A and B are shown apart, each in its own frame.
Chain A
Amino acid sequence: MSATVTFLLDGKAIPFQDGDTVMDAALRAGEYIPHLCHNPEFTPHGSCRVCIVEVNGRHYSACTLPAAENMNVDNSSEAIMAKRRSLLQMLFVEGNHICPACEKSGACQLQAVAYYTRMLSPHFPHFFPRRSIDATHPDIIFYHNRCILCGLCERASRDVDGKNVFTISGRGMNSRVIFNSDSGKLGDSELSISDRAASICPVGAILPKSKGYQVPIGQRLYDTRPISLVGDSNIRRNDKT
């Protein structure tokens, strides 16, 4: 056994291995760094920026930052939390995230991370974009309204299912997930309900049909414990306490 190398996360020593990102090492050590586009099963994306941390006065995304010995990472100061809240608030107003009516409520990572960072209101004016629902698939429904463009469905379909059903297309406000089929409809793609991509979405954008609200309030994933303790909704993990 070689001596373990560590870095400091909020003053706590976190062991890491070669090639680890700060996120990898922290999650393995049972330390939570808020994140949305990251999922330990997949290659980092670094797009949502919610995992922002501070090292030596500079800001990084923890999911893409290589761990280095003795680095001192700020993951929970009020200044960092405030930055995360602003990022979340922008996500909330940019789409239509109507938690009270959404069937993902209580098990949604966007909502859970917002609670965790104590985001109390959307702060910015809502954009109320008009975006559609694709219900053409017999078993799966897609809400463009709720998509946060985290790219997990794209990675899951490509890397696990080997299908490339999803791609993020367009830029800025016009970005959206498109489906790989002649008609452009989800129902004509190769997606199947048992695909990893069908259950990977951290928010309520990709959902199985006809299953909404079956878990009663009080028993949903984040109803009683915060996301920092429960972890990601869709991660098939066994390495985290």
Chain B
Amino acid sequence: MPSELETAKDPEKLDRIVIEPLTRVEGHGKVTLLQDENLQIKQARLHIAEFRGFEKFIQGRPYWELPVLVQRLCGICPVSHHLAAAKATDMIVGAMQLTPTAEKIRRLMHYGQTLQSHALHFFHLCSPDLLFGYDDDVRHRNIVGVIEDSPEIARQGVMLRKYGQEVIRVTSGKRVHGTGAIPGGINKSLSREEIDYLKTDIDQVIDWAQQAVVLIRRIFFEHYDYHINFASIDSSMMSMVREDGAYEIYHGGLRARDRNGRDIFNHVDYRNYSDYIKEGVKNWSYMKFPFITSLGQEDGWYRVGSLARVNNCDFFSTERAEAERVEFRAISDGLPVQSTLAYHWARLIELLHCAEAIRELLDDSDLGGSELVNKGEMQLHGTGVIEAPRGTLFHHYEIDENSLVTRASLIVSTTNNNQAMNESIRRVATQYLDGQQLTEALLNQVEVAIRAYDPCLSCATHAMGKMPLQIDLVNKDNALIDRLEKNASGKIKRRL
């Protein structure tokens, strides 16, 4: 059941607080809080301006443009859209299986982007909260503060990200918006020089990744109760897993588990996802609310992303990540870890796994193979699903006999987490905001909860860490009583 803070009983009697836009999340979002005269929070909602024009925009385009076109959907996770669309077009051109070279190059690209995405999120966007605490001076609580206080951590973050970007560049031709994946395969394999180039730093990258996991684990245990309880909610979780239950982000079946870790479904062929997942709507949000069909709209919401993946898989195929997974799962006695802040920990375990998996792949001679594309009998529709850094990403397309797209439907990772993020901010509201005069530090708690999910709030805009923040306290007549502003350089001003 959604928290009762989703909808207040008499909203017109309450003061309204708007946090807009959220800082250090990708894209645009806004939080509204309704507070009564005793300062009790009565309603908390996260509104996300989802970019939906896109599905229209690609209608009438030929299917082979999809992997390149749809990555434009998002400046932050283009590779995820590139690969999900490519998988859908594999189906369209009848490539039931990719050549080993094609599959491995795509995997390499995917590990590279996951590594860079997680490094960016942790080091640039979240480490300030985690290293300094949510109530650290806002002028210091940012990446510049991290560079000043912990230059080595900041440097490793930059280098990890850079390595991931190099993997993307080598496999797709460009750091952003390359063309590597095409219907039925890829357009280039790797040369000896390219493989050697990527090998040069991979051991160092694995070391840094390992250190990052050690760091997050230490932070987690140092403030254990805070981390366990902060914004934590009990939820079902969904992710992709390999046939043998191993952690998998490129190709596998879907597994959903309830809050007790029991299967809701398992090894579901993702091409049938619409039998298992439906999208609900609420009148106060443009973004949809997906739910697991068998549980219904009220109870069927779930979480995706690193937390879900590390909880749901039976093991990691790489040694170090597996050892870290075992430690991670140990904190909850075999039940799924439900701590929202554990997303960060899980994310860094994944980062470590990606680094290890890249090293394994770089020793695989298939990377230099010459069979790049498979094709078979054309089909008029295709579905592609991957585990994007932010969670399960669904692409589905239908085309006409002339090869033009007639219908596109997508469920992006962040949409899967819509209800969960809302539940988490409601939990924060109860935990920290009730009865309090709101301050920047308290409101940052709301953002810390949202940031844990690493949402990509809109796939069209991108203003990282530079967003001005405005919090309005409005009374029941919609008159502005108080306003707190943060400008792009982090200066706080109280207006009125």
Give Cα distance in the complex from A197 to B402, angstroms: 20
Task: Report the bound CA distance from A51 to B404 in whole Å.
Answer: 36
Q: Is B60's CB under 8 angstroms from A133's CB?
A: yes
One digit per residue, 1 when the CB lies within 8 angstroms of any chain B CB and 0 when it does not, for chain A 85-103 equals 0000000000000001101
Kindly state whether residue A147 has any CB partner on chain B within 8 Å: no
**Separation in Å of the A108 CB from the closest CB of chain B?**
14
- Segment from A2-10, A28-36, A158-166, A205-213 that makes contact with B: A205-213
Question: Is B403 touching A135 in the complex (CB atoms < 8 A)?
Answer: yes
Report chain B residues within 8 Å CB of A55: none
Assembly CA distance A209 to B61 (angstroms): 12
Report if B435 contacts A (CB, 8 A): no
Q: Does A218 contact B (CB under 8 A)?
A: yes
The answer, yes or no, to whether B214 is at the interface (CB within 8 Å) is no
Cα of A210 to Cα of B182 in the assembled complex, Å: 10
Residue in A133, A141, A211, A213 whose CB lies within 8 Å of B179: A213
Contact A135 B62 (CB under 8 A): yes
- The smallest C-beta distance from B166 to any residue of chain A, in angstroms, reads 14
Tell me how far the C-beta of A224 lies from the nearest C-beta in chain B, rounded to whole angstroms: 12
Closest to B70 in A: A101
Is A100 a contact partner of B72 (Cβ separation < 8 A)? Answer: yes
Which chain B residues (417-434) contact chain A, with CB distance < 8 Å?
none
A82 interfacial by beta-carbon distance below 8 Å = no
B218 contacts partner chain A, Cβ-Cβ < 8 Å: no
- Cβ–Cβ contact B187 & A215, under 8 A: yes
* A216 on interface, CB distance cutoff 8 Å: yes
Number of B positions contacting A (CB below 8 A):
25
A214 CB within 8 Å of chain B: yes
Chain B residues within 8 Å of A219, by CB? 188
Question: Contacts A101-B69, A103-B68, A210-B93 known; A217 to B62 CB distance under 8 Å?
Answer: no
User: Does A175 touch B at the CB level, under 8 Å?
Assistant: no
> How far apart are the CA atoms of A187 and B69 in the complex, in Å?
25
Asked whether, in the complex, the Cβ of A209 is within 8 Å of the Cβ of B403, the reply is yes
Q: How far is the CB of B377 from chain A (nearest CB, A)?
A: 13
Is the Cβ of A103 less than 8 Å from the Cβ of B403? no
Say if the beta carbon of A136 comes within 8 Å of chain B: yes
- B173-A217 in contact (CB<8A): yes
- What residues of chain A lie closer than 8 Å to B93, measured between beta carbons? 210
- What residues of chain B have their CB less than 8 Å away from a CB belonging to chain A? 60-62, 64-65, 67-69, 72, 93, 172-174, 177-180, 182-183, 187-188, 373, 402-404
Instruction: Please list the 3 inter-chain residue pairs (A to B) with the smallest Cβ-Cβ separation, ordered nearest first.
Output: A217-B173, A216-B188, A135-B402
Please list 30 pairs of residues, one from A and one from B, whose beta carbons are closer than 8 Å in the complex, sorted by A's number.
A100-B177, A101-B65, A101-B68, A101-B72, A103-B65, A103-B68, A133-B62, A135-B62, A136-B402, A141-B62, A141-B403, A209-B62, A210-B64, A212-B64, A212-B65, A212-B68, A212-B182, A213-B64, A213-B68, A213-B179, A213-B182, A213-B187, A214-B182, A214-B373, A216-B179, A216-B187, A216-B188, A217-B174, A218-B173, A219-B188
Apart from the given pairs A101-B65, A209-B403, A212-B68, 9 other A-B contacts in the complex at a CB distance below 8 Å: A100-B177, A133-B404, A135-B62, A210-B93, A213-B179, A214-B182, A216-B180, A216-B188, A219-B188
